[in-house]
Amino acid sequence: MDKRKKHFARLKAEEQRRKPLTKAQKRNQMCTSLKNMAGFTHNQLKNKSFDEVQKASDKTMSWIDSFIPMDSEVSAKKQKMDDDKEKEELKQCFEIIPDDGDDVTIDATPFKILKNFDREDLEVLWRMVKSRFKKTKPLNYMDTFLHLNLKTMFEHHVEDSIWKNQQGLVKVLNWKLFYSCGVHCVTVQTIPYYLLVEKMYPLTKHTLHQMFNDVKLQVDYECEMAFDLLRLVKKQLKEGYVPE
């Protein structure tokens, strides 16, 4: 008897499903969809006619059907267009000065090697300098210069005295990118700051503003590293310095 009851109940349910919906049932179904998908409330729908509810439902379904998934081809094309537009804007912030092979243009400092160093070389050099002066202080100008700049580059601190050179309306004279080792040099007045391209440093907004708007970043050729550096400067100019 239980099996027969379940069998007939199933047949009855199937028959009900096969029956076309009444106008009232269609209206209730559309109202439920509008509440769930379009945020309509009961009060907004209760006084609407069947045609008004159907029109709102058709509009909502049309919007859903035309929705472009984030991973779709159209979305990817739009993202590429946005990226290309951003790059065109950032291109205004750098100038291409082809490398003429003249190391003298970097000043007579230990950092003329930056043109020939890669990032691994630079990190090895910092470990060697840090180890050498772990218990003693540099005694001559060249060692002091090298130690100070490498420390600022790799292990800077917001309280380091070197950042005080930015105080007042100082002028940024030059800004250059060294691709091979991922370093950029910002010359403020007569002080060169050698900095890693991916890190934020406690540069003042006045300095950052000049870097992004007034003094163009010098590059040997267009590369993604230059765009990333400009994006970081733009972000810091907008949001401020974020210590690591």
pLDDT band with cut points at 50, 70 and 90 for residue 68: low
Reduced 3-state DSSP string for the chain: CHHHHHHHHHHHHHHHHHCCCCHHHHHHHHHHHHHHHHCCCHHHHCCCCHHHHHHHHHHHHHHHHCCCCCCCHHHHHHHHHHHHHHHHHHHHHEEECCCCCCHHHHCCCHHHHHHCCCHHHHHHHHHHHHHHCCCCCCCCHHHHHHHHHHHHHHHCCCCCHHHHHHCCCCCEEEEEEECCCCEEEEEECCEEEEEECCCCCCCCHHHHHHHHHHCCEEECCCCHHHHHHHHHHHHHHHHCCCCC
What pLDDT does 182 receive? 93
pLDDT band with cut points at 50, 70 and 90 for residue 49: confident
Give the pLDDT confidence of 140-163 residue by residue, as tens digits.
Answer: 888 888 899 999 999 999 999 889
Give the pLDDT confidence of 87-128 residue by residue, as tens digits.
Answer: 999 999 999 988 655 443 444 455 667 777 888 999 999 999
What pLDDT does 210 receive? 95
Q: Where do the domains of the chain lie? A: 2-65, 86-239
Query: Mean pLDDT, to the nearest integer, of 40-44?
Result: 81
